[in-house]
Structure 1
Amino acid sequence: MQQFIDKSQTTSCAMDAARATALHAALALPDPAPQPGDALPPFWHQIYFWDAQPPEYLGRDGHPKTGDFIPDLGLPRRMWAGGRLQFHAPLRSATPASKTTTIEAITQKQGRTGPLAFVTLRHEITQCGSLCVTEHQNLVYRNDPDPNAPNPAAPTARTDETTCERHSFSATLLFRYSALTMNGHRIHYDEPYARNTEGYAGLVTHGPLLAQLLMLMAERHLGPLKTFTFRATAPLVQQETADLCLKGKSLWVRGPDGQQCMEATAG
């Protein structure tokens, strides 16, 4: 896999203001929505730089097939396990930008449930000649679940938060977020696939959507973000209500029965 390390590709985007308005509405955020030229909230670059592929270039899960930019690792399930971000300068709505994605690392190992592969992508987003965001995205590839094996136990979430916000996630919100991010992963909108193929208890709430809400929460309470690190620790199923929690610069998502779905640190 060494030949794939440092492989990179660059895409450009007009940063259409209508997408920012649509995400603002989908998240039911208070008015006003960002206007052309306004600074965008952190992580809103997720709705830009689409990798829209025709159907024949998609895998069974709805993501672009591996084997082109990311190598085929022989493992069918893909998960966004977490990431870390540096916000150097705000991205602005309706101002062209470019994103360069580089494969930084590929690691293969044997886990408790079988082989695993970890891929780290580095995204560097520039606008008006300046670096605005550096993002490291951690992907995990694994085999389909054994239907006879018990689900791994989720970690228990903290209960010492100083701020807590309760959120529910409708199927409509999951659909709209998938559309805005051009995320074709079927676990977010195809319930039979989510249950029968990938072994989830229902539609899965996007990890990046949870991270987005944590970032917005952190900004409201801590001010503008310079860094943000997050790690998904358990899936949150669509019909489940979650508590978004904050104490100091630590944040986490607490799902039903007290399980921790995500942990994060703001800086």
Structure 2
Amino acid sequence: MSLIVIASAKGAPGASTTALAMAGVWPRQSLLAELDPLGSDLVYRQVAPTGEVLDPNRGMFSMALAARGGLTPDVIREHTQHLPGDQEILVGLSRPEQGAAWGAHWDRLGRVLAAPGSTDVIADIGRLYPDAPTMALLPHASLVLLVARTTAEDLAHVRARATAVHQRLAAAGRRVAPVGVLLVAPLRQQTQAADAAIRVLAGSGAPVQVAGVVAFDPRAAEQLAGRRRGRTHKTQLVGSVRTIVANLEKRFGIGQAAEESVSAREDLEGAAR
């Protein structure tokens, strides 16, 4: 029903951790899709509900061949796996060379992921740069969230990237999804961080707003990533993401009827061609 794209504008501020936490607390059925064309590594740190390791060859890599013949929600589901808690995941590519197999299929993938259905998609696309093939996903997104630290240089990159994305899609006559910023900062500094970010973003007229603050919680991040054992549901990180998710529908209309999305109106048979 909704395609939520999560990306970073610079470095590794915690976009993958945020996507994982967001999928885990999402109020409806969700699919966590690892769509970083440069490769993902969650498959090597997570396990299936049975305790067995995930299959690195089942996911985006195995679906590349199917994409040539046509993509539908059912085809995508054939290539997904599950994490503990029955979280559905589309495992990403393991190395950049595999991304070439997707070629021009990213636009088609975006259409299908945003098509009407009972499952919302939380897509981690890694770093968003001008020539990234995942730019083709953005016209189909209900919301684009850029994860950033609160340093001046990080906010400057977010401002520049949000403006560039808006201009590029608008110039091409494509739908422009709303863009929000998720700041990673200690919760005790969330008010100051948000105020500073608002000033930086508003000063340039960038079409982006602060969507919330993700708690800087290294221990919880390692637990979520599978590097450390422990429960995460009561951690500051997960609690902050839960608050953000609760506010997304009110602020950005996430979860509204699928017919409001351009991608949702795409005919699936046409998307499969």
Task: Give TM class, smaller chain.
Answer: under 0.3
The TM-score normalised by the length of structure 2 is: 0.26
Q: Which has the higher contact order (CA 8 A, sep 6+)?
A: 2
The TM-score normalised by the length of structure 1 is: 0.26
Larger fraction in helix: 2
Larger fraction in strand: 1
